[in-house]
Amino acid sequence: MQHKVLAGLDRKEAEVYRQLDPGRLPKHIAIIMDGNGRWAKRRHMPRVAGHRAGVAAVRSTVETAARIGIHAITLYAFSEENWKRPQSEIDFLMRLLSRYLKAEVPTLNKNNIRLEYIGRQHELPEDVQDRMEWARASTAHNTGTVLTLALNYSARSELVDAFRSMVNAASQNGGVEHLRIDEETVANHLYTRHLPDPDLVVRTSGEMRLSNFLLWQLAYAEIYVTSTLWPDFRGFHLLEAIAQYQKRERRYGGLNHGDAHAEPAKVLK
């Protein structure tokens, strides 16, 4: 199996992949794609050039994730806050999304990748919604990596929508006085209820923020920040992030084996 994976990677990717433990890959990786504007500015180009260049990063990253067997990858593509940008930039991003979906469906199918979305999709332009639904239906039969695009997404809005969904469900099943609220119930009403919580979140461009992205789901995720700007990010960089992830010990608030036998901490009086 490992030989088959290596055959699909380029030389730099293969060098990093050989250092990985295939049995300890993260099941779900979330990525905050940041730095398109700075990438363009450094080259004295308009911001939209950075967005256009970012498409190659998406393609390389997603294909590498699929080749090594990552179950799910979620990309923060357009936040609710992005509506504050100039209208010309928003219009370009919507056209770019539509073109990306049309162009990439054959590649997604070739790599057995299924496409999904999270966010308030109904607020996007109707022609974009139509293209999104076409792309989703065109990849629905695939059984490999699930690629989720967060579009018009806000973690706080997701939680609001989850609570509304819980109340609506309760009102149809005996009334809100029977509403049961616990972590499992909330999780089952999130946009991502069909996915495991991310094990690893990657942020490009060196910024140290979650930017209202998957706040509930990232509670126990490992955070990896790279100074690489998104248009320069490739599958090789994703593998480097996974290598760092595998060096960490995930305790979920508990103790590792060595700590379990350590002397109890003294209480100050």
Q: List active site positions.
A: 34, 82
Q: State yes or no: pLDDT of 235 exceeds 50.
A: yes
- Please state, in angstroms and rounded to a whole number, the distance separating the CA atoms of residues 21 and 23: 5
Phi/psi for 29 (5° steps) reads -115, 130
Mean pLDDT of 10-19: 91
Query: What six digits make up the tokens of 128?
Result: 């974009």
CATH of 25-249, one of 3.50.50.60, 3.40.190.10, 3.40.1180.10, 1.10.1040.10: 3.40.1180.10
What pLDDT is attached to residue 85?
Answer: 96
Residue 10, amino acid: D
Residue 1, judged by CB atoms within 10 A of its CB (0-12, 13-18, 19+), counts as exposed
Q: What is the DSSP track for 11-48?
A: HHHHHHHTTS-GGG--SEEEEE---HHHHHHHTT--HH
pLDDT at 188: 95
Where do the domains of the chain lie?
25-249
pLDDT value, residue 253: 62
* pLDDT of 267 above 70: no
Residues contacting 147, CB < 8 A, separation 6+: 62, 72, 73, 74, 75, 108, 113, 114, 115, 116
- The span from the CA of 223 to the CA of 227, in Å, is 13
Percent of the chain with pLDDT over 70: 91
Q: Which pTM was predicted?
A: 0.91
pLDDT band at 268 (very low <50, low <70, confident <90, very high): very low
Compute the distance between CA of residue 208 and CA of residue 206 in angstroms, rounded to an integer: 6
In percent, the amount of the chain with pLDDT more than 90 equals 82
Question: Of 75, 70, 79, 64, whose CA–CA distance to 9 is shortest?
Answer: 64
User: Quick one: tokens of 197?
Assistant: 């919580």
